Amino acid sequence: MLPSSQLSKNQIDRLGARLRKGDISDDDLRLLDSYRRSFSEGYEDVVSRIRDELGLEPTGRPAKSTTSIIEKLRRESVRLSQMQDIAGCRLTAADIVEQNDIASRLGSVFEKVTIVDRREHPSHGYRAVHVIVGFRGKLIEIQIRTSFQHLWAELSEKFSDMVNPGIKYGSGDNEIVTSLARTSRLITLVETLEKQLVDDRLLGEVEEELSKAKQLLLELLEETRENIPEARRD
């Protein structure tokens, strides 16, 4: 069995195809584990440069678990060699203005980046800006979320863990999925309004009222998150 570093793109994608179909041998699992671990160097390089050159402190993981990779291959049509989030880190911004600024600064630090704006095209309510960095043929994902987007994502994850794993992908309990979608839209409305007021230099006139609205939204999200453990998993 060849080490993952010696596999061609076609060989990696054929491995992904076998994993997607469920035709999985022990050798395939070992190869997948080797492949995901091969991202650690790129992950460490990206995290170090964010710390050293931007003065920011990211959180993240050097690699997805083999189970998570296989589940994503079966859930989506992405090829294994094109999977952007095998390794990645996260940065949290106070608001959309800071989120945009961080994305721009990352673009000046790394030579080749692809920006995926999931605010305009959310995935089942999930909103963020993803900056994809290339490192020696490997893709490393940097997620940038506002504090509200991050809290919403944690809420979705917790519902998925405690109630139904499909919730964060738009399936499962319809009431929860609908509520999450509405909450996501509300967060976007508040954050977009705040950015527009900043751009128009009008924030000072309504800052107190907007701050109260954001605090109420924050309390609602946190209260909902704390009550999730009472729910029964399907």
In this prediction, residues 40-58 reach a mean pLDDT of 96
pLDDT of residue 4: 58
Q: How far apart are CA 40 and CA 110, in angstroms?
A: 17
In this prediction, residues 100-125 reach a mean pLDDT of 92
Give domain limits for the chain: 12-146, 148-229
Each residue's pLDDT tens digit, 133-160: 999 889 999 999 999 999 999 999 988 8
On whether the CB atoms of residues 86 and 39 are closer than 8 A, the answer is: yes
In this prediction, residues 204-209 reach a mean pLDDT of 74
Assign 200 to helix, strand or coil: coil
Please work out, in degrees rounded to the nearest 5, the angle formed at the alpha carbon of residue 204 by the alpha carbons of 201 and 210: 110
pLDDT of residue 227: 66
| 12-146 CATH | 3.30.460.10
